[in-house]
Amino acid sequence: MPYCDLSSNGIRIFYRRCGHGSTKVLLIIGLAGTHDSWGPQIKGLTGAVEPNDEEAPPTETVGGESNTLGEEVREGDGIEVCCFDNRGVGRSSVPTEKSDYTTTIMAEDALALLDHLGWKKAHVFGHSMGAMIACKLAAMAPDRICSLALLSVTGGGFECFPKIDLQMLSLAFRFLRAKTPEQRAMVDLETHYTKEYLDECVGSRTRRDILYQDYVKAISSSGMQSNNGFEGQLNACWMHNMTSKELETIRSSGVLVSIIHGRDDIIAQLDHARRLAKKLQPVARMVELHGAHLVSHERPEEVNVALMELIKASKSKLELEEWSQLAESESGCLVLKMHPPLNNRNKDEANSLIMYKLLGKLQHRFL
């Protein structure tokens, strides 16, 4: 089994590699997720569905892309991806102390994995908590990042609060009471997908029925996440915060950023993703799709096209303004132009920003 051993603290990170090529992509999954949650993207980016049997030889960077030693970089080369289980879940180590879980620490895990793989640079794509980790990684080591994709992302802290309504309160209550894979699967489906998607028929069955069986099987095989792992990862989300200096590091690095979000996401609210995209101007591009928190599963073709557009734009060294101000992508999904500065926005939005700042102060006081 492939593991990256962090010798400094005894943590082991389980990972898988799929596909072959000079273009390297590191996939960072979110809260309670395991490496195989990236299935639709692995297949879409590499064409592979099974992990590589053998470890590839060490790699080095040539022309801004990682490639196997001695291998020339050729246009049309394939893509190799690496996905892994974050600390606290799956086959990776599960520290018992909450202090061992922060997005900064988990970004250091990802950086150690890049070193272990011998990848000098990589495109880094993160989902939810994984996108928070990806942000920290980009600020920590911008010279190791080819491009950055942030799926279903928020700024952490109070922005981790989902949309509060009767549906969410019911889901939260059922989630806390879930003790079996069957109970957990029912809750996960309703938080990860839109009702419209779940009710679609595939042959004689609905997607809900099909996904339910898949979820129960996956949870049963990997086991329910431990309390230490879940509480630790939740703590990492709650404590996450990108400072102005870190955001400026990402902006000034010139790395292209694609923020991809489902309009019906009840876990990571769309407004928070839009706000982050504005903070990352002029390098960020906001892509909105119809879908919920697992938009990467609900709309895999559109997400994969957006990711490939990011890789191609990065390789072609597209101008920042041209990247961020495109009105519509080749995939046909909505790409929002960023709004003007605060003094040109309407009064309601300004009041909303003030409220979020107050909530941020309340969060720090609570901690």
Q: What is the pLDDT of residues 284-334, one digit of tens each?
A: 999 999 999 999 999 999 999 999 999 999 999 998 888 976 544 444 445
* Percentage with pLDDT > 70 across the chain: 82
DSSP letter at 294? T
Residues 6 or more apart whose CB falls under 8 angstroms from that of 156 comprise: 103, 132, 237, 238, 239, 240, 241, 242
Q: CB–CB of 289/307 below 8 Å? A: no
Place 343 in a pLDDT band, splitting at 50, 70 and 90: very low
* Strand, coil or helix: 17: strand
Q: What is the pLDDT of residue 205?
A: 96
218-266 per-position pLDDT tens digit: 888 777 889 999 999 999 999 999 999 999 999 999 999 999 999 999 9
175-231 per-position pLDDT tens digit: 888 889 899 899 999 999 999 999 999 999 999 999 999 999 888 877 788 999 999
Tracing tokens 């799956």 back to the chain, one arrives at 90
Query: Residue 147: pLDDT above 60?
Result: yes
Output the pTM of the full model: 0.85
Q: What is the pLDDT of residue 9?
A: 80
Reference 35, options 21, 16, 22, 58; nearest CA is 16
Handedness of CA 303, 308, 310, 313 (dihedral sign): negative
Q: What is the pLDDT of residue 159?
A: 93
Mean pLDDT, the chain, whole residue set: 85
d(CA 51, CA 54): 9
d(CA 84, CA 42): 12
d(CA 29, CA 38): 7
Structure tokens at 282: 């002029």
d(CA 355, CA 344): 18
